[in-house]
Structure 1
Amino acid sequence: MAVSLQKGQKVDLTKTNPGLTRVLVGLGWDTNKYDGGRDFDLDTAAFLLQEDNKVSSDSDFVFYNNLQGGNGSVTHLGDNRTGEGDGDDEQVKIDLSKVPANIKRLAFSATIHEANERGQNFGQVSNAYIRVVNMDTDEEILRYDLGEDFSVETAIVVGEIYRHNGEWKFNAIGSGFQGGLGALCSNFGIDVG
């Protein structure tokens, strides 16, 4: 049975799941009813971060326009522009055994595409979650439901997978940003100019 996390909780991935190397990170969400007349397009990204919490290059920013990073160890499975339907809206596959040694953490984010232009924010999003699945057994290892803590934010760092003493762990972050994807990119060392 999957571990259900609260904001700030950390859980071990590989120590309690010996042999775990291939994981699927799924993110999902629903949008609240509103009369803005515009579709919501949420996007998932993975930032492959070094010890200084920065990417080493733009190729370590994995998203809908750069589907692979970390020498192929991290693969984004594509952009879902509507978020309709049940289950994960976007997914990222990771082979933990192949993540380059200089990558210490993988931060997963959700942003609202053209949020400012469309007058949208995470206060209009509900049932957002991140989950980690063992790809070899199809078993959900953990799940973090974000709750309704956001209002004006247009980007969220949802969670991260990180190395600690030779093992991989997960941290439920749930930290919101204003300024959308551009603010996140700047935070992680990507020049958006």
Structure 2
Amino acid sequence: MAINLVKGQKIDLTKGRSSLSSIMVGLGWDPVETKKSGGFLSGLLGGGGGGADIDCDASVIMLDENGKLKGKENLIYFGNKKSKDGSVVHSGDNLTGEGEGDDETINVDLKRISPSIHRLVFVVNIYNARQKKQDFGMIQNAFIRLVDNQSKEELVHYNLTENYAGKMSLIPGELYRQGNEWKFSAVGEGTMDADIGSIANKYA
């Protein structure tokens, strides 16, 4: 049974799970529905009837022991779907976020992650957010979950329940190495960064 986390909570994924080697990281979101031309939701969306597709992109920033991004090959996104060591594989781009379940998935083979990589930061940002005047106040039901690829058991589920209006990127969570164990932290942080490059530069 999955452990439901709250913001700031951390969990040891591999302790007591010696067989855990590969996980699926699922990220999901839905556009806020606009049922009326006026009222609360219209105000939330900044005026007129919304309903425009919001293209969110999931990415992974792979960091070394000093928290630094060493090379573009350690940035996994729709333009670079597989890490150099083959440990992180992106499922591809979902353009709308409509429908049930995961919108984008990333497979992580914990055993194949290069020893030089100590932290995996998961990011979701809105594509062309600034040009489209879109932000995460237009998104609801955002979550990140981790599933054991072998047993298909959902290990962790974290619903991002804060109001992220005005934010163009989210960092829902991160995997990090501590000794021989891998842990997960529910971060739930929103940023004003309009694209994944801006976020990646912070770790350069």
TM-score by length of 1: 0.94
Question: Would the aligned equivalents of 1:70 and 1:100 in 2 still touch at CA under 8 Å?
Answer: no
**Separation in 2, partners of 1:176, 1:148:** 9
Change (3 A) 1:48 1:125: same
1:30 aligned partner, one-letter code? D
Match of 2:39 in 1: none
2:30 aligned partner, one-letter code? D
**Separation in 1, partners of 2:132, 2:166:** 13
**Separation in 1, partners of 2:193, 2:184:** 25
Q: Superposition pairs for residues 160-179 of structure 1, below 5 Å? A: 160-179=174-193
2:156 aligned partner, one-letter code? L
User: What's the RMSD between the two structures over aligned residues?
Assistant: 1.2
Report the number of matched residues. 189
Match of 1:101 in 2: 115
**Separation in 2, partners of 1:147, 1:106:** 22
1:48 aligns with 2:62: yes
1:78 alignment partner, one of 89, 92, 110: 92
Segments of 5+ residues of structure 1 without an aligned counterpart are none
Q: Superposition pairs for residues 1-193 of structure 1, below 5 Å? A: 1-34=1-34, 35-36=49-50, 38-181=52-195, 182-189=197-204
**Separation in 2, partners of 1:70, 1:168:** 20
Question: Would the aligned equivalents of 2:55 and 2:96 in 1 still touch at CA under 8 Å?
Answer: yes
Larger radius of gyration: 2
**Separation in 1, partners of 2:162, 2:136:** 9
How far the C-alpha of 1:45 sits from its partner, in A, is 0.2
Moved more, 166-175 or 51-60: 51-60
2:83 aligned partner, one-letter code? G
2:191 aligned partner, one-letter code? F
**Separation in 2, partners of 1:48, 1:118:** 29
How far the C-alpha of 1:37 sits from its partner, in A, is 5.6
Q: Please give the per-residue CA displacement for 1:50-89, whole angstroms capped at 9, x wherever unaligned.
A: 1222211101000101000141110001000111110000
2:11 aligned partner, one-letter code? V
**Separation in 2, partners of 1:72, 1:133:** 19
Question: Would the aligned equivalents of 1:177 and 1:183 in 2 still touch at CA under 8 Å?
Answer: no
Segments of 5+ residues of structure 2 without an aligned counterpart are 35-48
Match of 1:17, SS state, is coil
Match of 2:28, SS state, is strand
**Separation in 2, partners of 1:51, 1:149:** 32
**Separation in 1, partners of 2:140, 2:16:** 31
Q: Please give the per-residue CA displacement for 1:73-107, whole angstroms capped at 9, x wherever unaligned.
A: 10001000111110000000010000000100100
How far the C-alpha of 1:17 sits from its partner, in A, is 1.9
Aligned sequence identity (%): 40
Moved more, 16-25 or 180-189: 180-189
How far the C-alpha of 1:150 sits from its partner, in A, is 1.0
Which consecutive segments of 4 or more residues in structure 1 shift more than 6 A? none
